[in-house]
Chains A and B, each alone.
Chain A
Amino acid sequence: MTRPLPTYHDLAEPDRSGILAQVQAQHARVAARLAAVRHVVAVASGKGGVGKSYIAASLARRLGSAGHAVGLLDADLTGPTAPRLSGAARPPVRPSDGSVQPAVTADGVRVFSAEFLAAPGEPVRWREPEGDAFVWRGTLEAGAVREMLADVAWGELDLLLVDLPPGPARLADLHGLVPGLRGVLAVTIPSLESLDAVRRALLLARDRGVPLLGVIENLVEHACPNCGQRHPAFEGDAGARLSAEFGVPLLAHLPFRPTDPELDRLAAAVWAAVERS
């Protein structure tokens, strides 16, 4: 009778590479960096083009102006927009003590983006063998987000907003990297197409145990340039339906080009939801 093949854990001596220990050390580095951050909150959507990055940047600036210490991490590696939306200029690169300085906006928001890793106007390009990039691209991009969490000198923050690319995958990565993730703000537009896409993303988030903080319905209406009267921009009520289905507050209905008071109300509602969580 042949004996069963031994497993990795049957061998008592550690392996020389210590891959598992290296990955654990990476996670510990993230945790150490974020120890001075009270809340980490994701801004996500199952759908692109709903104004998620605009919402994230506006929230960061309003909360920064209100006196909160806020960071904004642009985790969209292929379409970074946070620097332009938040007014953050490319920071000088002065790595010291194992960290990189973020950009700081006029509102005091600390910003880091994949845009700072590429030449102006250029995409982020990875050094990789030709073809079949799907084998490692996701792992590599998750690793880049990990480094932006762990290696940027965020300092003491009340809130770190993480602007995620469309789709649910990066939210899962973030939740794996930040076990204390306070939750996710879901951004949608009113349409039924957006309802379907955001619902799928929120179901996956709920499956993973990511707390849902609330729904923000964006691009609800636009104002006539002549008379100023507001008209619906899309058919549908995705925000209200998602709010009811997931039992979370509908934090705001925002028009195209929201006014300062509307953005201030959004910031106040989000801050209250974060503090309640």
Chain B
Amino acid sequence: MKFLCMECDRQMTFEERAIPGDGTLTASFRCPACGRSVAMLANPYETQLVSSLGVKIGGTTIDGAEPMALAGEFLATPPEVPGSPRWDAESLDRLARVPSFVRGMVKRIYADWAKERGIVEITTAVMDRARTDLGLEGM
């Protein structure tokens, strides 16, 4: 997407992008000649449509990107099962290191394992036991 300053007949330059978290996206552009700026305001539909291509407005680098980056961004965490155990801070830190495209699934697997055993809080020790028990090396 490009923006043209019709007055100056100059291509406007990208300045800033904002993702406020409500599904919308704002990007601003400025004319290098006259300094006039405009903002492009995308509604949630437009934003999601572009995002679902796996591209970033404002640019990104695909080479070296985390594998399954699109799946990681858009896969939803499975819903919490009532009575699921708590997670302590250390176990949540460890969970955060799991690749994003499987994080929700892995969280659910640990939670189900702990719940079946009546464990009310997941710690790193619980995660270690579950990992050995379930053969989840690497998770």
Name A's B-contacting residues (CB within 8 A): 6, 8, 11-13, 15-19, 22-23, 25-26, 29, 92-95, 98-100, 116-120, 122, 124-129, 132, 135-137, 139-140, 143-144, 146-148, 151
- Taking A15-B2, A17-B59, A117-B68 as known contacts, 12 extra A-B pairs with beta carbons closer than 8 A to each other, sorted by chain A number, are A11-B4, A17-B14, A18-B59, A92-B137, A93-B138, A95-B67, A98-B66, A119-B78, A129-B45, A147-B67, A147-B68, A147-B69
Against A, the Cβ 8 Å flags (1 = close, 0 = not) of B112-138 are 100000000000000000000001111
Contact B66 A95 (CB under 8 A): yes
Distance in Å: Cβ of B43 to nearest Cβ of chain A: 10
Q: Which 6 A-B pairs have the closest CB atoms?
A: A16-B14, A151-B67, A119-B108, A94-B138, A125-B76, A140-B52
Q: Contacts of A128 on B, CB cut-off 8 Å? A: 48, 74, 76
A129's contact among B48, B101, B104, by CB below 8 Å, is which? B48
B19 contacts partner chain A, Cβ-Cβ < 8 Å: no
A contact residues around B68 at 8 Å (CB): 95, 100, 117, 147-148, 151
Task: Chain A residues near B138: list those with CB within 8 A.
Answer: 92-94
**Complex interface: chain B residues within 8 A of A93 (CB):** 98-99, 102, 106, 138-139
| Chain B 72-88 interface 0/1 with A at a Cβ cutoff of 8 Å (1 = within) | 01111010000000000
> How many contacts between A and B, using CB within 8 angstroms?
139
Closest to B22 in A: A129
Asked whether A17 lies within 8 Å of B58 as measured between CB atoms, the reply is yes
Given A127-B75, A143-B52: A120 in contact with B59 (beta carbons within 8 A) = no
In the complex, B63 has a CB within 8 A of chain A = yes
8 pairs from A and B in contact (CB 8 Å cutoff): A19-B53, A22-B60, A23-B55, A92-B139, A100-B68, A120-B109, A126-B74, A129-B45
Once bound together, how far apart are the Cα atoms of A24 and B55, in whole Å? Answer: 11
Is the beta-carbon distance between A125 and B78 smaller than 8 angstroms? Answer: yes
Partner among A13, A92, A117, A135 whose Cβ is within 8 Å of the Cβ of B101: A117
Q: Is B41 an interface residue (CB 8 A)?
A: no
List residues of chain B with CB within 8 A of the CB of A94. 137-138
Contact A129 B70 (CB under 8 A): no
* Chain A contacts for B66, CB-based, 8 A: 95, 98
Question: B71 contacts the other chain (Cβ, under 8 Å)?
Answer: yes
Chain B residues close to A by CB (< 8 Å)? 1-2, 4, 11, 13-14, 23, 44-45, 48-60, 62-71, 73-76, 78, 98-99, 101-102, 104-106, 108-109, 112, 135-139
CB atoms of B74 and A16 under 8 A apart: no
Contacting A16 at CB < 8 Å: which of B13, B104, B112, B139? B13
Residues from chain A with a CB closer than 8 A to the CB of B4 are 6, 11
Contacts of A16 in B (CB 8 A): 13-14, 58-59
| Complex Cα–Cα for A92 and B66 (A) | 17
Structural contact, B53 and A23, CB atoms closer than 8 A: yes
CA distance A137 to B54 in the complex (A): 12
Enumerate chain A residues within 8 angstroms of B60, measured Cβ to Cβ: 22
When chains A and B are docked, how far (Å) is the Cα of A25 from the Cα of B69?
A: 14
Contact of A136 among B1, B49, B67, B139 (CB under 8 A): B49
Chain A residue nearest to B55 (CB atoms) is: A22
A11–B74 CB distance below 8 A: no
> Measured between alpha carbons, how far is A276 from B13 in the docked complex, in Å?
53
Closest approach, in angstroms, between the C-beta of A133 and any C-beta of chain B?
9
Contact B70 A147 (CB under 8 A): yes
Shortest B3–chain A CB gap in Å is 9
Residues of B within 8 A of A8 (CB): 2
